[in-house]
Amino acid sequence: MRVAVIASMKRGLEHFVYRELLSLEERGMSISLFPTKHHTGLYNPKPEWAVHRWHPLLVAALQPVSFLRAPRMYLRLLSEALAVGALVDFALAWYFARAMANADVIYATFGDHKLYVGYFAKRILGLPLVVTIHAYELYRNPNPRLFPRALAACDQIMTVTDYNRELLADRYGIDPGRVDVVRITVDTERYCPAEKFVVLIVAFFVEKKGHDVLFDAIRRLRRDDIEVWVVGDHGPGEPAVDVRALAQRYGVESQVVFFGALGGKALEAAYRSCDVFCLPSRQDSKGVSEGFPTVLAEAMAFGKPVITTRHVEIPRIIDEILVDENDAEGLARAIDHLSRSPEECARLGAKNRQIAEAVFSRRNTARTAAILAGLAASDGPQHIATPPPLATGAGVTPDTSSEAGTHVHED
C-alpha cells in the first residue's frame, strides 16, 4: 500500500509523526513524504522514503501547465481557493499531484495546511483522504473557513483524544461515527524501563580525551546493558575529532547518547544520573597532554566512581581506578568490574567525594585571594608559604576549614 503523507518538516518531522510513519512502514506500507515545509531537525525522513520537496518558483511555474491539462477543474478549484484564502495550499496541491497520482491514499498528519493541501489534492486526483486531528487545529486553526469543508471531504477522520472527538461533534457538527480515536504512537518496547549501567564522559571532541578508546572498550564488552552518555562538542584551539563517526566506526552507536555541550543544572543532572564517570585521557599525536581535567574533579565532587588513565597529574590525585593510556582492554575490564559491583561503586564514590573535599575545595580560591591581596598591599612580590603536598587518593584527610564545592562547566 502506497501512502502519500503530507507533513511539516519545519525542524524535521515531529517525533510522534516520525514514530507513526516508522510503524506504518513496518506494516508493509510504502511512505512518500510531501512536506509543506522542509528543513532538517532531530527526526528526519529515512533515506528510503521519497521526499518531494518544492520551491516557490517551481510551484508557480507549474501552474500554467496544470491549467492547460485540466482548465475547468483548475479554474473551479482556483475560485474556491480564492474565496477561502487558500491559494498557497491550492498551488502546492497541483505541484504535488503528479507525484501523488501513484499513491493509494492521501494522509494529512494535521488538520491545518497539511489537510488543505490534501483536500485540493483529493479534488484533483480523486484519491481517498485521511486526516489526524491533534489539538491546536481545533482552537487556532489557520483557516477556519476551509476547515469544516475539508473535514467534510475526508473519507476518514482520526483524532488523538476522546475530548477532541466530542469537540468535533459539538463545534463542527461532525458525526462521531466518522471519527476514530487513534492515540499517538509510542514504541512501548523501546521505551520500557530497562536497567542500564551509564558511563558518562564530559569532554571537548579532541584527540587527547580518548573517546575512541572508550568506544573500543564498549565494543569489546559486547554488553547491551551498558550505555555511554557523551557530553561535549568541538572545542577551541585544537583540531576537532568527529566523535559521532567514531561511535559508528566502532559499531556502538546504538549504545551512545550524545547530549551536546551542557552547563549549569543540565550538566549537574548528567553527573548525578550516571553510574560511573570515565575519561581515558592521553597524550595526543602532537605531544599535547592534559593538566588535571576539571571534569574529573567535578565527578568526584558528585561522589561518583571514576575510571581514568595514568596520565600526567592524574595518578597524583587518584589512585583507583586507573588504566594505561590507550588501553581499551584494560578500560573494558574496569567498566565491567564496576558494572557488576554496586558496593565497589559506592565505596569509590565516597572515597572520591572525600578527595574532592580535601583537594579541590574553595580553600584553593582563598589561597589565590591571599596571593592577590598580598601583592596589592605591598610594593613588590611577597612570598606566600607553600603548603605541604596534597595527599593522594589512598589516604586523604577532608578539609573541614572551608566550604567544599565545584564549578560545573563543559570541559
The whole-number pLDDT of residue 397 equals: 39
Give the integer Cα–Cα distance in Å for 247 and 171.
52
The confidence band for 387, taking pLDDT boundaries of 50, 70 and 90, is low
Helix, strand, or coil (residue 80): helix
The residues facing 33 across adjacent strands are 5, 51
Domain boundaries, the chain: 2-181, 197-359
The residues facing 229 across adjacent strands are 200, 257
- DSSP track, 208-227: GG-HHHHHHHHHHHT-TTEE
The whole-number pLDDT of residue 406 equals: 34
Interval 325-358: pLDDT, tens: 999 999 999 999 999 999 999 999 999 999 999 9
The confidence band for 378, taking pLDDT boundaries of 50, 70 and 90, is confident
Q: Are strands 30-38 and 129-133 parallel, antiparallel or unpaired?
A: unpaired
Q: Do domains 2-181 and 197-359 have the same CATH topology?
A: yes
The whole-number pLDDT of residue 405 equals: 36
The whole-number pLDDT of residue 367 equals: 86
The confidence band for 207, taking pLDDT boundaries of 50, 70 and 90, is very high
Nearest to 13 by CA among 106, 105, 114: 114
What's the mean pLDDT in 361-382? 81
264, containing H or E segment: helix 264-273
* 14: region left, alpha or beta (phi > 0 left; psi from -120 to 50 alpha): beta
Interval 255-301: pLDDT, tens: 999 999 999 999 999 999 999 999 999 999 999 999 999 999 999 99
8 A C-beta contact, residue 205 and residue 241: yes
Give the integer Cα–Cα distance in Å for 335 and 329.
10
- Residue 385, pLDDT > 60, answer no
Cell 481545533 sits on residue: 138
Query: Which percentage of the chain shows pLDDT scores above 90?
Result: 83
The answer to whether the pTM exceeds 0.75 is no
Architecture of domain 2-181: 3-Layer(aba) Sandwich (3.40)
Give the integer Cα–Cα distance in Å for 359 and 399.
8
Give the integer Cα–Cα distance in Å for 4 and 117.
12
What's the mean pLDDT in 156-160? 96
Give the integer Cα–Cα distance in Å for 105 and 129.
6
Q: Angle CA(198)–CA(15)–CA(172) in degrees, nearest 5?
A: 145
8 A C-beta contact, residue 325 and residue 283: yes
- Residue 382, pLDDT > 80, answer no
The whole-number pLDDT of residue 27 equals: 95
Interval 167-183: pLDDT, tens: 999 999 999 999 999 99
- Residue 396, pLDDT > 70, answer no
Q: Which CATH superfamily is domain 197-359 in?
A: Glycogen Phosphorylase B; (3.40.50.2000)
- Residue 29, pLDDT > 50, answer yes
